Amino acid sequence: MKEKLSESLENYLETIAFLKRENKIARVKDISKMMGVKNSSVNIALNVLSERGYVIHERYGYVDLTDKGQIIADDIQKKEDLLFSFLHNVLGVEKEIALKDACKMEHTISDETLAKLIYFVGRIDKMNLKESGKRKNK
Amino acid sequence: MKEKLSESLENYLETIAFLKRENKIARVKDISKMMGVKNSSVNIALNVLSERGYVIHERYGYVDLTDKGQIIADDIQKKEDLLFSFLHNVLGVEKEIALKDACKMEHTISDETLAKLIYFVGRIDKMNLKESGKRKNK
DNA sequence: TTAAAATGTTAGCATTATAAAACATTTTAA
DNA sequence: TTAAAATGTTTTATAATGCTAACATTTTAA
């Protein structure tokens, strides 16, 4: 059940999800522009993603995500948000760089590490809340 | 001055450095075995690394790192150690997985994030020291 | 409504990473 | 010391990604 997608293909899904959220629709041109690649490269990626059941793409038409594709896109976005938050808010890495690093790491971080990081960031947030107002409990 | 190496080539340098540390020498066979690739793949990588001045490799002979190659290998090892320490000791990720994740992240983490992480891990260590014996100062 | 502009697609090439198979050299052990 | 085993190298092939250039379709605006 654990089909792995390449970093590149994951990025295509993420970009399509973003465009749908922002513009309601995703077109080849938008995808290529956002990702800094050529339309031809987008087309080839879409063919692969279509074949594997992640996107729906009619010739000369819009690009859409299947449920399966949306799930992957959401998963990656969740990872990106968490990683960005950790890098920027916890470590204090500058926005631009934190985002760039998060966008790379989101493809490699394991589920285990992700879970631990979620827990850790949660604890840090609580600590900050406490420190910025009240005394430590107990 | 900032020639970038691919993740793959960085891994070859890291492996060669490891083998030299453990066995004094590095051979094609050892590299392929450690990395789970074929001798032919190692050879091709070594040709590239030779041309670019990172390794010295005489036909049918041992493999060695140039100063330039050793610097890269050390740099990556430093990153791996820090990332592993953070994942395992701070987040509590299981050894195997922490190592696997660190080995991927070591190739993508930016210098900025690295620096912030070093500082952060340092602070955490101090906190742990304090908490496990003394009261908080101030 | 039609010609130009915009957008999308296909074909062919380049790069990177790896493997398989054939071949070459070196090492080992009988 | 020499034949087999181990190791190293080259050649050829495959897969993933992206590019350019040529071509096709759709949209726009005169």
Please report the pLDDT score of residue A54 as a whole number.
Answer: 98
Cα angle: A35, vertex A38, A43; to 5 degrees: 95
Please report the pLDDT score of residue A135 as a whole number.
Answer: 37
| Contact by Cβ (8 Å): A41, A32 | yes
Question: Considering CB atoms only, which of B94, B101, B113 is closest to A93?
Answer: B113
pLDDT block averages, 10 residues each, chain B of length 138 = 88 98 95 98 98 96 96 97 96 97 97 96 75 43
Please report the pLDDT score of residue A130 as a whole number.
Answer: 59
The helix (run of H) or strand (run of E) holding residue B64 is strand B63-65
Instruction: Convert the pLDDT of each residue in A49-94 to its tens digit.
Output: 999 999 999 999 999 999 999 999 999 999 999 999 999 999 999 9
Instruction: Convert the pLDDT of each residue in A20-37 to its tens digit.
Output: 999 999 999 999 999 999
| Contact by Cβ (8 Å): A106, A128 | no
Please report the pLDDT score of residue B138 as a whole number.
Answer: 32
Give the confidence band of A1 by pLDDT, cuts at 50, 70, 90. low
Residue B19 at interface with chain A, using a CB cutoff of 8 Å = no
Please report the pLDDT score of residue B135 as a whole number.
Answer: 37
Nucleotide nearest to A39 (CA to C1'): C8
- Check if residue B60 sits with its Cβ under 7 angstroms from strand D: yes
CB contact under 8 A, A101 and B91: no
Neighbours of A94 (CB within 10 A): 14
State the average pLDDT for chain A: 91
Characterize A104-122 residue by residue with b for buried, 16 or more Cβ atoms within 10 angstroms of its Cβ, and e for exposed.
bbbbbbbebbbebbeebbe
Taken as a whole, chain B contains a residue count of: 138
Please report the pLDDT score of residue A134 as a whole number.
Answer: 43
Please report the pLDDT score of residue A128 as a whole number.
Answer: 65
Residue A85 at interface with chain B, using a CB cutoff of 8 Å = no
Nucleotides in D strand less than 7 A from protein CB:
6-11, 16-22, 25-26
Please report the pLDDT score of residue A126 as a whole number.
Answer: 73
Report the Cα A52 to chain-centroid distance in Å. Answer: 19
User: Looking at beta carbons, which residues of chain A come within 8 Å of B116?
Assistant: 87, 91-93
